[in-house]
Amino acid sequence: MSVPGSIARRYRVYGSVQGVGFRYFVQRAARQAGLTGWVRNLPDGTVEALAVGTPDQIAALRRQLEVGPGRAGVERVDEEEADPGSSADFRSFEIAR
């Protein structure tokens, strides 16, 4: 169930972000920030994530996405608003397959 005051954001990360541990990096950063949601690789070579939490938690994740793990090369991060109500079933932050 989403917490009152929660927001949700969908991210798309471009660059050298597959095959470099990016999803695990995002999962760890999101869990440390206290977020729920998921992250996954897309067929076009980008990484997509959906995060639900407070504005401060979301901002912390965004900063991490812009940097990525050491082997990644983030070129750009697109962000769009999502509906936190549609994410009410998330209990943690997972790697989606």
Q: Catalytic residues, which ones?
A: 23, 41
Q: What are phi and psi of 5, to 5 degrees?
A: 90, -5
CA count, 13 A, side-chain hemisphere, 25: 23
> Cα(27)–Cα(61) distance, rounded to whole angstroms?
10
